[in-house]
Structure 1
Amino acid sequence: MDKLLSSSWFVKIIAFLLALMMYTIVTMETQEEAANNSIFSKMYTESETIENVQIKPYFDDNQYVLTDMPSSVDLTLTGSSRLITKATKVDKEFEVYIDLTNMKPGNKRVKVQVQGLPEGVKAKINPDYVDVILHKKVTKEMNVNVDLKNKRKMPEGYTAGEVEFSPRTVDVTGAEGMIDQISFITGFVDVTDADESIQTKVPLRAYNQQGDLIDVQINPGVAEVSVPIKKPKKTVPISIETKGKLDEGLSLQSITSNPSEITLTGTTTSLEKIDSFKEITIDLSEIKKDTTLTVDVPVPDGIDDVSLKEVTVEVNVEETGTETETEADADAETEAEPEAADQESTKTFSDVPLTLLGSDADKQATFLDPADGVVDVTVGGKKSVLNSLKKSDLQGIVDVSSLDQGTHKVKIDWKNPGDVELTGTVQEASVEIQTETSSQ
């Protein structure tokens, strides 16, 4: 035994066997650990798909505009649940992007990439390539317009006035081809149910000739708008009222106003109740002769405004003759008076003015026939009625409110007292209509 231990070959063999045994033990442990790690890895590795991840493009946005790029892609992450949670819920530093740096304008097919994921997490992008177009960027100054929507849905009788807005021009920046497609830039104001003037701000948008929206940058992108809303109006004839009595020996021949009609502004309900303007009253007890008065025009209750501040009223009177009668003559006249008062008779009034209804600043009406707008009126009836009839009791209305530009024959609407009849009086007038547009 001692000889074997002292032999160098024996010692070498023993050392080799010991080394071999230790290598075998270490190798077995490593393989077992690797197997365990592989099983562990399989147990704790998972995949998660994140849909609609935004793509960030990198390019020189001072010189170019990028279009046709998909807004997002789907991203599938593979790795341990801990790392995936860290990437998506904790760090949130990963980014999906395309790189167009230093590229020239044109159609491009570029790879979608991802950066910022923790080590150990793999990513798969769908789609992994996208098609985009890189355009040259231009800026152009263009005019602005503002349009009204739903004007037919405004309250009855209300209208919108001329729209005021600012700015009148804007700078439009975008792809050169898109700028060339722009037909107009406008903002819209909805006037549905509008019964008061509107002050608002509206966004400005660019449209092509077909009315399709064009994707460009507009600076400034908002317009300040003022829309005046006009309340309903109605034009009616002026009817002068009287109070008191003329002095003995005077009789009233006529009482007229100039202008003969007035335009009222108010709600539809209040205007429907008014057919003539009866707010001006003349005291006959103060009239001693033919008189021309300038009278202030009041605003009636329920009316917001009137078109006139004052009118001229012309009062014409006539002296009546007085004779000394014998008692017999007076008795004879008294006996004959009842019979004469019931007799039918006629009476003619000269130069009775016709009243134009519906003529205003936007639509001017002029009499062609009769040229001066006055006619002679002959009425028939009982003598007692005719004796008390005045020229101002007769009114001929010519309504042009529904007429368009041009020459028209219009029936005269005579507003005579019901107990007299017109005989041989003009029943039709010829008028010419001119609108504001035609006169410009």
Structure 2
Amino acid sequence: MMEKFFRSNNFIKIIAFLLAVSLWLFVSGENAVSPAVERHTFTNIPLNVRNLGDNLVVVDMPDSITLTLQGASDAIAGLTPADLEVYVDLRGKDEGRHRIKVNGEPPPGVTIVNFSPSRVEVEIEELIAQQMAVQPRIIGSPADGLTVGEPLFTPEQVFVKGAASVMEQVEKIVFTVNVQGYARDIETRLPLAALDASGRTLDGLSISPSFAEVKIPIGYPSKEVQVEPVFVGEPAEGYLLQDFEVRPSHITISGTESILAGIDVLFTEEIDIEDFTDGFTVDVPIVLPPRVELDGEPYVSVKVAIVPE
């Protein structure tokens, strides 16, 4: 009887049913544990450098590449270029041009399908460091009648570092101040730049410090003039004014150009030597013309020598 059952259509139907159920359970299980897999291509992924030798610098290399990843949808979703690391390994590479394989480190749950390009041209040069003086670069003109004084700034020396081919073009390190229309001193913090012989800014250099603290005096023109003492009276009978010495003998004044053009000497207030029999030293105020300013103390020291005839 059992043999008859195994050979019957009912047995075959039961076996077919069980196989169908097993297949359905298998497929359902696969779908439950195997999330969807997808590929995604990211463009403009920054290309980094690893293991570059001391005193070397990369002067030419692609900034970015294209990267294709494969992985579960939930692993790829939300990835940005900032999450992706691609690089060239320059261990053991010297100066010159090299063709280097691109490497990468994929995020967890993701594999790298390909890089585009998979190899890049990299040019390496010697890294040069040099100490250089800072120079002011003044552009524009201050308000009418005013001039630019001697700039004051720190630092006066900086360290400049860069590729040998760029460093050999450096003519000077400058900060640039535009004084157009200014009627008062300028105090500011300005970036430093490297210029070539034609005055063009050179890129790809490190300047340390990279900023200068600057003070630019703005004022009237100045001029150095002599100071002469004015004596009144006469020494006592039998004595005479033999000599005198003025300290300082010259002073700096400022004013409009038209006023300064007519001044070559300034005088002191009167020094009375009436009936003197001995020499003396006295501080005497300087007489300033209208609209003239004095740089320094408003007086001079006058040493007077009075001797017998």
Shared fold per TM-score greater than 0.5: yes
1:148 is aligned, of 133, 137, 142, to 137
Equivalences for residues 36-75 of structure 1 within 5 A: 41=36, 47=40, 50-75=42-67
Residue 206 of structure 1 and its aligned partner are, at CA, apart by: 3.6
Q: How far apart in 2 are the matches of 1:204 and 1:163?
A: 15
Identity of aligned residues (%): 19
Number of corresponding residues: 278
Contact 1:195 1:231 in 2 (8 A): no
The match for 1:132 among 122, 147, 151 is 122
- Which structure shows the higher helix fraction? 1
Change (3 A) 1:231 1:50: farther
CA-atom RMSD in angstroms:
5.4
- Residues of 1 paired with 2:116 and 2:75: CA distance? 21
Who is 1:186 aligned against?
173
**Contact 2:195–2:201 (CA<8 Å) still a contact in 1?**
yes
By how many angstroms is 1:86 displaced? 4.6
Alignment of 1:18-37 (within 5 A): 18-19=14-15, 21-27=17-23, 30=26, 33=28
Counterpart check, 1:217 vs 2:206: yes
Distance apart, 1:305 and its partner CA? 0.3
Q: Which has the higher contact order (CA 8 A, sep 6+)?
A: 2
Q: CA deviation at 1:150?
A: 1.3
Tell me by how many angstroms 1:65 deviates.
1.4
Please say if 1:158 is aligned against 2:147.
yes
* CA distance 1:28–1:239, shift in 2 (3 Å): closer
- How big is the shift at 1:130? 3.0
1:106-127 deviation line (CA, Å, top 9, x unaligned): 3233344442324257666554
- Which of 297, 300, 309 in structure 2 is aligned with 1:309? 300
Can you list the C-alpha shifts for 1:268-291, whole angstroms capped at 9, x where unaligned? Answer: 39x75996799867699x989xxx
For the residue of structure 1 that corresponds to 2:109, the secondary structure is coil
Alignment of 1:230-249 (within 5 A): 231-233=220-222
1:68 and 1:153 mapped to 2: Cα distance? 43
Q: Does the aligned pair in 2 maintain the 1:149–1:191 contact within 8 Å?
A: yes
SS at match of 1:87: coil
> Deviation at 1:186?
0.9
Structure 1 regions of 5+ residues with no counterpart?
242-257, 289-293, 313-440
Q: State whether residues 158 and 207 of structure 2, in contact with CA within 8 Å, keep that contact through their aligned partners in structure 1.
A: no
Which structure has the bigger radius of gyration? 1
CA deviations 1:64-121 (Å, max 9, x no partner) are 31222232345566666533335349xx743233333344443233344442324257
2-side partners of 1:76 and 1:194: how far apart? Answer: 61
Please report how far the alpha carbon of residue 195 of structure 1 lies from its aligned counterpart in structure 2 after TM superposition: 3.8
Question: Would you say the 8 A contact 1:161–1:227 is kept in 2?
Answer: yes
Q: Go from structure 1 to structure 2 and tell me whether the alpha carbon gap of 1:59 and 1:120 turns closer, same or farther (over 3 Å shift).
A: closer
Distance 1:101 1:16 in 2: 71
Distance in 1, matches of 2:75 and 2:301, equals: 89
Structure 2: which 5+ runs fail to align?
231-245, 276-281, 304-309
Flag the 1:208–1:279 CA change in 2: closer, same or farther, 3 A.
closer
